[in-house]
Structure 1
């Protein structure tokens, strides 16, 4: 007998439901019975699609990075690599705000007891960062970033933006230093810290903001977080 085929839309719905339960109610809410009930189906749906709860949690992580990669893929390479880098930062933030439940699972903020990521799982995140490494390489080659290790530069940018996004999702950033204010200043500061001239960095960050509707406005919204356009200017 051939294996039963799974429906991609059903898989995505189950991933979003499970991530929402985990983030909203904690690990105790995450069970095949509860996920199936929220989806209006039987527990067999979970096992058919993922082989069990561990498979479903792992799929949340992979789906989260797939959505991040989808945002990154909409950022075009231009003759202003620093603007491209700033727009990648905006893409990272927008993905997190759009998919907060998956974001929490991707990086360990929400995860059921007994489940741990393998190095192979984490490799998906490292692979996604390759886009940022490539952009950092172009920034160095253009003389905008100081000569050095592009991978290290990408990691420094990643950790900085990740920290801001984590605080934003936790609702720690409020007026007068709300997330938008801090993020715009952070982008410029990160580019200068990487070796760019202040005036040039400010121009590129402004240019990345102008490109935002055209390049990231068309990214397909996902049900976990609603409409990406609702996440503010970044």
Structure 2
């Protein structure tokens, strides 16, 4: 267990700064002194908040998934499960584009400065997919997706959208196949590939578009009270019960 944080406002700031340095300058930029200087605090803050650099790197990964989970938790369940699952895709992309520095760390796009993720760390990340699996199950039950493995469907959606987002963050998607155009076509194609009819999928994907703004508005910003940001909406560690 990491030490109790003396200043809850400092932890999230250090996480953001460290992730940005790692993504922009590489692992050589990660040092307690450099991070503290950027944050306007002392090096002791790194050890007080995270127990050391390895704890800070792990916290970057956890914080990235906590922010993703926060968006997912605000995707309301409606009578159109295909629109709901398309909205999960939109929320995933929005989170990546909003937190590109953390996104790179979450999936190994940035070197972790000699720190390796454990199986527990990765399981922690996989937990965020559980709500998408539940939604895929609803799509199957409603007869919109063909009968099959809902978990596999969720993983197919995840890998496809992750690939697009990675290309988008790398500025590979430009006109005439810009990211927005490809993403909209991809969402519809994924729904049809899972078994939905083209007309119904097109209608549901379009309806999900207008719902993203509400999700974004409902996601709370980094807290300024006595609870660390990563603690809110965070998926349970492996072995902890899902609530």
TM-score under structure 1 length normalisation: 0.91
Query: CA offsets per residue over residues 56-95 of structure 1, 9 Å max, x none?
Result: 0000000000000000011000010000000000000000
Partners of 1:184 and 1:192 in 2: how far apart?
13
Displacement after TM superposition at 1:8 (Å): 2.4
1:174-211 CA distance string (max 9 Å, x none) = 11111000000000000000000000000000110122
Deviation at 1:221, TM superposition (A): 4.8
Secondary structure of 2:76 counterpart: coil
Q: Which runs of 5+ in 1 are unaligned?
A: 223-234
**Alignment of 1:47 onto 2:47:** yes
Shift of 1:42: 1.1
> What's the counterpart of residue 231 of structure 1?
none
Structure 1 residue 213: deviation in Å? 1.9
1:118 aligns with 2:118: yes
Report what 2:15 is aligned to: 15
Distance 2:193 2:214 in 1: 28
- Cα distance between partner residues in 2 of 1:213 and 1:182: 20
Structure number with the higher helix fraction is 1
1:209 aligns with 209
Residue 213 to residue 5, structure 1, CA distance change in 2 (3 Å)? closer
Q: What is residue 137 of structure 2 aligned with on the other side? A: 137
Question: Residue in 1 aligned with 2:166?
Answer: 166
Q: Which portions of structure 1, spanning 4 or more consecutive aligned residues, are displaced by more than 6 angstroms? A: none
Distance change (3 Å), C-alpha of 1:111 and 1:8 = farther
Write the mapping of 1:1-234 to structure 2, written as runs, cut at 5 A: 5-221=5-221
Alpha carbons 1:82, 1:191 under 8 Å: kept: yes
TM value normalised by structure 2: 0.88
Higher RCO (CA-CA < 8 Å; seq separation 6+): 2
Structure 2: distance between partners of 1:68 and 1:125: 10
Please report how far the alpha carbon of residue 219 of structure 1 lies from its aligned counterpart in structure 2 after TM superposition: 2.2
Structure 2: runs of 5 or more not aligned: 223-243
Q: Answer whether contact 1:28 1:112 (CA < 8 A) is retained.
A: no
- The CA deviation at 1:217 is 3.2
In the alignment of these two chains, the number of paired residues is 221
The CA distance in 2 between the partners of 1:70 and 1:103, in whole Å, is 14
| Secondary structure at 1:216 match in 2 | helix
Q: Secondary structure at the match of 1:8?
A: coil
Taking structure 1 as reference, are residues 27 and 86 closer, same or farther at Cα in structure 2, changes over 3 Å only?
same
